[in-house]
Amino acid sequence: QVQLVESGGGLVQPGGSLRLSCAASGRIASIYTMAWYRQAPGKQRELVAAIPSGGSANYADSVKGRFTISRDNVKNTVSLQMNSLKPEDTAVYYCNANIRQLSTPILNYWGQGTQVTVSS
């Protein structure tokens, strides 16, 4: 079974930095777009950044210039470097990926989430 596991969340002061990582495991044939979403208390889950297997990354306007998404197609990981963090970045961050297993159609997977808290 395919699993996505996030790591790297924690408490950081405003202006600080944090790096999130997500590792995909299982019998994977292909990974297509990988992405990071976040959900703040009382709010809808929103797309933070996405990166196709061979294309350019795209970002939510609120994080442009501060966050950088990257992926390692050998290790099947995706990372989110977060700089100049703001209190409004506080949320549970979720890894998301479109993955195909052998003889199986492409399915969308979610990680369990990792808490990021930006507070002084």
Q: Quick check: helix, strand or coil at residue 28?
A: coil
Q: pLDDT tens digits for 83-119?
A: 999 999 999 999 999 999 998 999 999 999 999 999 9
- pLDDT at residue 55 above 90? no
Residue 22: band (very low, low, confident or very high) from pLDDT cuts 50, 70, 90? very high
pLDDT value at residue 31: 97
Q: What is the mean pLDDT of residues 19-47?
A: 97
Neighbours of 105 (CB within 10 A): 6
3-state class percentages of the chain: helix first, strand second, coil last, to nearest 5: 0, 55, 45
